[in-house]
Amino acid sequence: MNIYEVKTPAELLRGNPYPGRGIVLGKTPDGKKAVAAYFIMGRSENSRNRVFQERGGEVFTEPFDASKVKDPSLIIYAAIRSYENNLIVTNGDQTDTVYDGLKAGKTFSEALKSRCFEPDGPNFTPRISGMITFGDGDFCYQMSILKSADAQGSACHRYTFDYAPIAGVGHFLHTYVTDGNPIPTFQGEPERMSVDNDIDAFTDALWNNLNAANRISLYVRYVDLQTGEAENRLINQNK
């Protein structure tokens, strides 16, 4: 087993019906740009009734058909926000928890200590989060997963990973191993995923390898490390 192996999006996603929600953070092969991607999937009508909307550089999940929303508590949230030199990406309203924590002088992991996995037993969906911190023409990034300690949801286990960026390498953290009942929670460290210099090629590689029946939305952002200019791509299954 090669612990340093970097797999392609196709190798990590193709054939998996349900990795759930996923975050990828990393650096382009030419070393010039930071990469952030977030996708959502869904099995229920309530989960599938969503789109991504970008407003003022921030990304939100919103209902596609507001009349069909049954419970907005775990499906409607700010997915991507920025605070000073930090880009925050999460799979729930803990985006705001991290944002407010940074404003209060807390670190990424300190802010998340007030949160745990989602209260959706028996799945107890993990809360996954990531943050890129820019500075001096480069960046570092962190990822976190908060997940149930057991099948009863009796306690929360917290894992934080700190990364120095490596050109051509992204780290991929997702909520579930695959489909199931209950759905099996992600295990181990974030997976090493190759990224592309071209944002369209990387966006296509992610979207085209997500299960077509369950994918909902994908957002990808590339940030130029010299100019700070951001380039974005957004795809919604619901048009």
Tokens of 127: 């809360």
* Of the candidate ranges 57-66, 83-92, 124-133, the one whose mean pLDDT is the lowest: 57-66
Q: What is the average pLDDT across 170-181?
A: 97
The Cα 102–Cα 105 span in angstroms is 5
Cβ pair 78, 87 in contact under 8 A: no
Q: What is the average pLDDT across 64-84?
A: 88
In a domain, 3, yes or no: no
Cβ pair 66, 87 in contact under 8 A: no
In a domain, 78, yes or no: yes
CATH of the domain at 122: 3.60.20.20
CA nearest to 6, candidates 207, 221, 168, 220: 168
Provide the residue count of the chain: 239
- Quote the pLDDT of residue 94: 98
Please give the tally of structural domains in the chain: 1
The Cα 232–Cα 222 span in angstroms is 6
Q: Tokens 């990393």 appear where?
A: 26
Range of the domain at 144: 9-236
Euclidean distance between the first and the last CA atom of the chain, given in angstroms as a whole number? 42
- Quote the pLDDT of residue 60: 96
DSSP 215: E
In a domain, 4, yes or no: no
Q: What is the average pLDDT across 145-160?
A: 97
Residue 74 has pLDDT above 80, yes or no: no
Residue 100: helix, strand or coil by DSSP?
A: helix
pLDDT digits (tens, 9 = 90+) for 127-152: 999 999 999 999 999 999 999 999 99
In a domain, 2, yes or no: no
Q: Tokens 């191993």 appear where?
A: 177
Q: What is the average pLDDT across 73-88?
A: 93
- How much is the pTM? 0.97
User: Distance from CA of residue 177 to its chain's centroid?
Assistant: 15
Question: CB neighbours (10 Å) of residue 1?
Answer: 3
In a domain, 192, yes or no: yes
Pairing of β 127-135 and β 138-148: antiparallel
In a domain, 138, yes or no: yes
Query: 143 CB contacts (<8 Å, ≥6 apart)?
Result: 23, 25, 128, 129, 130, 160, 161, 163, 171, 173, 190
